[in-house]
Structure 1
Amino acid sequence: MFSSYQRINNISAFASSCLMTLLVVISIVSYAQLYIIGEPEGRIEVKPMNVVKAVSRPYSRKEQEVAWFRFDVQADMNSLFTWNTKQLFVYIVAEYTNQKGFANEVVVWDRIVRRKRDSKLNIETARAKYPIRDPSLSFRNSTNVNFTLRYNVMPWIGALTYGTGAKINEPVPFAKVQSRV
């Protein structure tokens, strides 16, 4: 009655439909699970900044102000690891408005957490991985800097989810330029 080709086609179409339905259900369940768990608790403390004059990137050779700082982070990201979590991307963002009125968000530190046992962050007096550089080349008349610990949950199946782990209580002012590098 039906050829072998039609039977194989029907079986593979049914199997792929079942697989897609299963993947959608897994995505919805894991996404809902993160909202039920809630945001993790954490604390971030930033030491006073050090602003120095430095030569900007090799292609322009302009003198630019660069801000470095040290920080402490305590955060427990265990609750974000579920059966569908592949890894976490944890990062610190510095937010400020420059002298021209543009709002800036700069990633100054990051870490990839692949295992649940490594998800408890206890970092003391760490230096920022990436300095803060402003496109206007100067921090003069810029607002104070707000620091936020954020995370990105990367699941095996489903949508990426973002959240905030901690914020500083008081914004940190830019220091006066100290010396040249």
Structure 2
Amino acid sequence: MHSIYARINNFSAFLSSCILTLLGAIALSSFLFTANPQGDLSVLSVKVYPGNSRRQPGLSQEYTFVNFNISADLTPLFHWNTKQLFLYLQAEYTDAKGVRNDVVIWDRIVRRKEEAVINVVGRNKYVFRDISHSFKNVPPANYSLQYNLMPHVGVLTYGEAGRTTEPVPFPPAQDFVSR
């Protein structure tokens, strides 16, 4: 006969095999649920201002402020395996030396389906500056609304919900006027 420890070991091995098989089936089934969320992204204005670098005193740096309007319906992305969405606005541009840059300038975490209809009029949440310290002779930038779907079980899914129709140019730096 088997001892009680052998029976507990057999039962727990069978139970863990069943749970792992179920989790694998859930992860594979999430590939069947594909959604194409639609959003509208428009850049209202882009302003470039000179400033001082905090890390290197005496060095001038140009900072860009982007005012944008986002309206998107992301409810098709929510299903039984969606834990949350990480939503972010990304600026894509090539600097004066020809290096391609992708900069996140705004983000939001959406945890429930009720919060998945996004209507935001705002400006960049994070500092937008170029490593060359200037946006002079930089070609226009494209802006896109990206998302990262985080499931309860399975792989992370990345996608795009909206994009500007035309590239938005960087204006020349303005003098900052304080009031």
* Corresponding residue number in structure 1 for 2:117: 120
- Structure 2 unmatched ranges of 5 or more: none
Say whether residues 1:10 and 2:7 are aligned partners.
no
What is the aligned partner in structure 1 of residue 82 from structure 2?
85
Match of 1:42 among 39, 43, 51: 39
Deviations 1:124-143 (Å, cap 9, x if unpaired)?
A: 3x111113211111111111
Q: Which residue of 2 aligns with 1:25?
A: 25
CA displacement, residues 102-130 of structure 1 (integer Å, 9 cap, x when unaligned)? 10000011011111111001123x11111
Q: How is 1:1-181 mapped onto 2 (pairs within 5 angstroms)?
A: 1-33=1-33, 35=34, 38-56=35-53, 58-61=54-57, 62-124=59-121, 126-180=122-176
Q: Sequence identity, in percent?
A: 47
Instruction: Quote the Cα distance in structure 1 between the aligned partners of 2:165 and 2:144.
Output: 10
SS of 1:69's equivalent? strand
Matched positions, count: 176
More helix by share: 1
| 3-state SS, counterpart of residue 139 of structure 1 | coil
1:32-82 CA deviation, whole Å, 9 max, x = no partner? 21x2xx3101110001211001122x3222211111010111100000010
> For 1:17-45, what per-residue CA distance to the aligned partner results, in whole angstroms no more than 9, with x for missing partners?
11111001011112321x2xx31011100
Per the normalisation by structure 2, the TM-score is: 0.94
